[in-house]
Amino acid sequence: MTEDKKRESDFYLPEWVIDKNEDTFATIVKRGVMDSGKGPFKNRPEKKGEPSVEEFTAGIKENNKTLLARAITLVESNSPSHYSKGREILKKIGPDPGRSLRIGITGPPGAGKSTIIEEIALELLSEGHKIAILAVDPSSTLTGGSILGDKTRMERLVREDNCFIRPSPSGGTLGGVTRKSRETILLCETAGYDVILLETVGVGQSEVAVRLMVDFFVLILNPGSGDELQGIKRGVMELADLIVVNKADGNNLKRAEMTKGEYSRAIHYLQPSTEGWKREVIIASAIENRGINRIVEIAKNFQNNTYKSGMFERRRRDQAFNWTISLVEDFLKDSFYSNKVVRARLEDVRRKIVDGKMLPTDGAEELIKSYFKS
């Protein structure tokens, strides 16, 4: 066989390649088994298109994890067409798909949030619950990327059929959650998960965003952090329904007990986060499974008590309205920055402010006027 014939039979080139291309051209492609009709892929079915809204809804209700994950991707997407379809799925689901217990878990980096969440989830699974874990990782302010390593760290949970783990980037959203965390919670409840564990980025006053979308809020701390009581925002402590001093094992046990005492004294001066509920401080060890069943017990007692008092339903109704306000704010922000006139003026305003020729207040006023005139 001549060299030309061999090349013609074994290789093919993209349509846009220049004539008389040499063999060194980088995009010459070797014909594979799928092209030849031979091998294990010869009867491979064609890739199906995107499922319909009805197929998504039915699949989620049947706890199809693949369709659930894809639906979450739709509502998290910044693409208008994707989010529009996600909204249609949410409309089909309705406003009240489930009665799950939503637990928010926060704490400073290194407090062991992921490890303790895994132990809590395993305890709940052993009691017959279905668990969804929504883990939020901080997004880079430079690249916008996130590591999303929680699913990798929770090795024992990924093998559990009744557990769904969804890591998501914060996308710069304050409060340690994503812009679409509420939508994700509703989708998971529709799939039948009766306990939703929401792990947030970290500690800060903006954690009020988490409080507005969960029922039970847990603050995880390190032993010895009592020495840094002033560094922990008072607002976060007031929001917590339970404070857990983690890593109470080995040489840390005595320090954990001391930290528990300091925080127990401190919470007496704080307003309760939930009407009729007395906040506690306990110690736990995720690696020794100490105190995990106590956390679960307290969470269930909280659920029962707030159900009886009517606080649970009142908080859920307030959360629904807060979600409405959040959606309005997101819509207005997106509408403003996607406006053609604003986008055309933005760079000019930015340059004037950077060069010291315009005050930020004047720049904001100019952009707002441009928006309303458009």
User: Which CATH number is 127's domain given?
Assistant: 3.40.50.300
Determine the Cα angle at 263 with ends 257 and 266, to 5°: 145
181 is in which domain, residue-wise? 100-309
> What per-residue string of b and e applies to 77-105 under the rule 16 or more CB within 10 Å gives b?
eeeeeebebbebbbeebeeebeebbbbbb
Regarding whether 189 and 122 lie in a shared domain, the answer is yes
CA distances from 1 to 6, 32, 64, 278 (A): 6, 20, 53, 86
- Is 291 strand, coil or helix? coil
367: number of Cβ within 10 Å = 19
Specify the pLDDT at position 329. Answer: 86
Answer whether residue 318 is part of any domain.
no
pLDDT digits (tens, 9 = 90+) for 201-259: 665 545 677 788 899 999 999 887 655 554 455 667 888 999 999 999 988 999 999 99
* Distance, CA of 186 to CA of 180 (rounded, Å): 10
Residues 154 and 295 in one domain: yes
The pLDDT of residue 13 is above 80? no
CB distance 281 to 264 below 8 Å: yes
Within a domain: 314: no
Taking the mean position of all CA atoms in its chain, how far away is CA 203? 15
Does residue 62 sit in the same domain as residue 161?
A: no
Mean local confidence (pLDDT), 34-53: 59
Which residue, 273, 278, 279, 275, is CA-closest to 310? 275
- Catalogue the E-assigned strands of the chain: 11-12, 29-30, 101-106, 131-137, 163-169, 195-199, 216-221, 242-245, 280-283
From the CB of residue 294, how many other CB atoms can be counted at a distance below 10 Å?
16
- Residue at 156 is within a domain: yes
Beta bridge partners of 169: 137
pLDDT digits (tens, 9 = 90+) for 290-309: 999 999 999 999 999 999 99
Residues 128 and 229 in one domain: yes
pLDDT for position 137: 61
Among 216, 161, 165, 170, smallest CA distance to 188 is for 165
3-class SS of residue 99: coil
Q: Are residues 160 and 294 in the same domain?
A: yes
- Are 187 and 110 in the same domain? yes
pLDDT digits (tens, 9 = 90+) for 144-168: 433 344 545 677 888 889 999 988 7
Question: Of 137, 79, 39, 102, which is closest to residue 319 (Cα–Cα)?
Answer: 102
Q: Tens of pLDDT along 310-343? A: 999 999 888 888 888 888 888 898 899 999 999 9
Q: Does residue 12 surpass a pLDDT of 80?
A: no
The tokens describing 59, both together, are 């699949």
